[in-house]
Amino acid sequence: MTDDLPTTVDVLIAGAGPTGLALGIDLARRGVRALLVERQDKLSRGARGTGLQPRTQEVYDDLGVLAAIQAAGGLYPKTARWENGRIAEISEMIERVDPTPAMPYSNALMVPQFRNQELLSARLQELGGRVLLGTELTAFTQDSDGVTARLRGADGVERSVRAAYLVAADGGRSTVRRALGIGMSGPSLPAGAAVLADVRVDGLDRDHWHRWNLEGGGFVALLPLAGTNHFQTFIVAGGATDTSPEAVRALLAAHTHLAAEQIREVLWSSLYRPKAGMADAFRAGRVFLAGDAAHIHSPAGGQGLNTSVQDAYNLGWKLGQVLRHGAPDTLLDSYETERRPIAARILDTSTRLHRSGSLRRGRDLHQLDIGYPDSPLTQELRTDLAEGVPAAGDRAPDAPCTTADGRPTRLFDAFRGPHFTLLTLGATDLDDTALPADPALLRVVRVGGPSPDLLDTDGHVRDAYGSGPAVLLIRPDGYLALAAPAEDATARVTAALGTYLGAGTAQAAR
């Protein structure tokens, strides 16, 4: 363990998978001092989860990592089913969806998990954060003011760190969850096992997701991994559980037309056993569970990693509001209130897909329809909404538009960052001087009206949000927090900000 280990931080994050890294990025850009510790001596190897759903791509856009992710990834190819050494059928397993002005990212992006984590880690370092590898959280206690954790480095030396909050992003076997005594329950999945491995293979094209159906219901799949010369293989074959390179090579040779010598290298392998469950609570005092520590999914439908990243995205802004902007600690209760029902719904979806054996994947898995209409943080004050107009609690859609001087931009550019966005549509009686002046807290963006910041040149804002006039408060995680008529806008917005920012900052004048 390094000698410069801080003795106090705002947030201690146990686990540097996609969940912990995404949370670390979100906190770092808010000026929150976070420390990530990872038991392994390097970031996880292996492609593991490869699919980033459109909603997660929107999260990555906001976190400033999407361009690098897109450069490293690609779309999933069509599936080629093999019989007797030849391709017998080609099909589209993952439905392609055309982007729209409101939905710029419309298809699952394939990025190996190890590359995903490398890019998230690089972004974290850009923002001044870091991960302590080879460092294990061995014990912790909490009191009314914070958490005291014991960390053991690779040298065996233990040191203490004091944090205001602890977030367990330490996986399905979470040490933190078990120490808290929080149970996990969920549906039973059919017993079985699969060998998962990353391999280098000769003799297969990289234009298809190759599949061999086996007698007895098993199968072998080889997916060319975007941005690499590797294939990910998933082998369900007669109870095979040996993950040694020799066994992986033998399984592929036995159940495909490939010869053993065509399996040039086994880079990584693991045994997968289907599990599903959800923690009985996502918060215990000053400790939070996120990602696999809070919910475990079948990989069917590619929902687990995406749900985990969005846990981090939901929790990050709330920790920032409490630690940096004076919001009450009770705001953090909304993390469990909002995310646990979502996790339950997605758990049901992935379990249903796992049991059905269906391979078809469509727009219903993109997670763009997830929202928080029943959250205590959500206020819809408009009446007689037109059909299709997003209501408070819904995802805030994108829309191309122009600045007042004619430069092309889009709403996602206005939303990007750790702040709330107050979007006014048309003429309102909003008084900016009654609102917080800190742009890290709140940015006012007027679309149309007498003094516009943005012009709805082609009507995309109107198509996405309705004709207005209205005031819309967009949360830092891209959901409509408040939607209200244009009348009495200042009073309505000021009252709402007391919930999200804390009463003191809500009253700070511009």
Distances (CA, A) of 483 to 139, 361, 434, 441: 44, 33, 18, 18
Residues 6+ apart with CB under 8 A from 217: 236
pLDDT at 504 over 70: no
| Span 328-343, pLDDT tens digits | 999 999 999 999 999 9
Q: Which of 421, 425, 454 is nearest to 440 (CA)?
A: 421
| Span 291-306, pLDDT tens digits | 999 999 888 777 889 9
pLDDT at 356 over 80: no
Q: Which of 497, 492, 474 is nearest to 430 (CA)?
A: 492
pLDDT at 2 over 70: no
What CATH number does residue 419 fall under? 3.40.30.120
What integer is the mean pLDDT of 31-40? 97
Is-cis flag, bond preceding 469, omega within 30?
Answer: yes
DSSP string, 11-63: EEEE--SHHHHHHHHHHHTTT--EEEEESSSSSPPS----EE-HHHHHHHHHH
Q: Which of 442, 466, 243, 170 is nearest to 325 (CA)?
A: 442
Q: Which of 92-96, 115-119, 317-321 has the lowest mean pLDDT?
A: 92-96
Co-location of 297 and 438 in the same domain: no
Co-location of 43 and 170 in the same domain: yes
Read off the pLDDT band of 206 (50, 70, 90).
very high
Domain count, the chain: 3
pLDDT at 359 over 70: no
> Is 288 in contact with 34 (CB distance < 8 Å)?
no
State the pLDDT at residue 509: 42
Helix (H, G, I), strand (E, B) or coil at 319: helix
**Is residue 90 in some structural domain?**
yes
The alpha carbon torsion through 37, 41, 43, 45 (nearest 10 deg) reads -150
Bridge partners (DSSP) listed for residue 349 = none
| Span 166-199, pLDDT tens digits | 999 999 999 999 999 999 998 888 778 999 999 9
What integer is the mean pLDDT of 272-298? 94
How many Cβ atoms from other residues are within 10 Å of residue 509's Cβ? 10
State the pLDDT at residue 191: 78
CA distance 494 to 450: 22
Co-location of 170 and 240 in the same domain: no
**Is residue 99 in some structural domain?**
yes
Q: Which of 478, 500, 341, 501 is nearest to 421 (CA)?
A: 478
What integer is the mean pLDDT of 206-221? 94
What integer is the mean pLDDT of 339-360? 84
> Is 192 in contact with 236 (CB distance < 8 Å)?
yes
State the pLDDT at residue 510: 42
Residue bearing the bigger pLDDT, 193 or 23: 23
Co-location of 447 and 302 in the same domain: no
Co-location of 123 and 180 in the same domain: yes
pLDDT at 376 over 60: yes
- The first and second tokens of residue 185, run together, are 């329950």
What integer is the mean pLDDT of 341-358? 84
- The first and second tokens of residue 169, run together, are 């992003």
pTM (predicted TM-score): 0.95
Among 273, 305, 322, identify where a domain stops.
273
Among 319, 342, 365, identify where a domain stops.
365
Co-location of 79 and 99 in the same domain: yes
Long-range contacts: 316-320, Cβ < 8 Å, 24+? 316/22, 316/23, 316/26, 316/27, 316/30, 316/477, 317/26, 317/30, 317/418, 317/475, 317/476, 317/477, 319/10, 319/11, 319/27, 319/32, 319/165, 320/26, 320/27, 320/30, 320/32, 320/418, 320/476
State the pLDDT at residue 30: 97
Q: Can you give the residue range of the structural domain that contains 269?
A: 74-106+191-273
State the pLDDT at residue 57: 98
**Is residue 2 in some structural domain?**
no
What CATH number does residue 116 fall under? 3.50.50.60
State the pLDDT at residue 3: 62
Q: Which of 10-19, 174-183, 188-197, 462-471 has the lowest mean pLDDT?
A: 188-197
Helix (H, G, I), strand (E, B) or coil at 220: strand
Per cent of the chain over pLDDT 90 is: 80
What integer is the mean pLDDT of 200-229? 95
Co-location of 407 and 498 in the same domain: yes
Distances (CA, A) of 251 to 229, 256, 260: 20, 8, 9
How many Cβ atoms from other residues are within 10 Å of residue 186's Cβ? 18
Look over the chain and give the mean of its residue pLDDT values, rounded to a whole number: 93
pLDDT at 507 over 70: no
Co-location of 305 and 202 in the same domain: no
Co-location of 384 and 491 in the same domain: yes
What integer is the mean pLDDT of 278-290? 98
> Is 12 in contact with 136 (CB distance < 8 Å)?
no
- The first and second tokens of residue 427, run together, are 């003429």
**DSSP class of 94:** B
Q: Could you give the maximum distance between any two Cα atoms of the chain, in Å?
A: 74
How many Cβ atoms from other residues are within 10 Å of residue 421's Cβ? 21
State the pLDDT at residue 503: 55
pLDDT at 481 over 90: yes
Read off the pLDDT band of 277 (50, 70, 90).
very high
Co-location of 211 and 252 in the same domain: yes
What integer is the mean pLDDT of 4-32? 96
Read off the pLDDT band of 138 (50, 70, 90).
very high
**Is residue 298 in some structural domain?**
yes
Co-location of 173 and 318 in the same domain: yes
Among 365, 389, 409, identify where a domain stops.
365
**Is residue 487 in some structural domain?**
yes
What CATH number does residue 199 fall under? 3.30.9.10
**Alpha-carbon 192 to chain mean position:** 28
Q: Which of 147-156, 186-195, 384-393, 441-450 has the lowest mean pLDDT?
A: 186-195
**Is residue 98 in some structural domain?**
yes
CA distance 288 to 308: 13
What integer is the mean pLDDT of 405-430? 95
Co-location of 118 and 206 in the same domain: no
- The first and second tokens of residue 249, run together, are 């090579």
Residues 6+ apart with CB under 8 A from 328: 322, 502
CA distance 328 to 289: 20
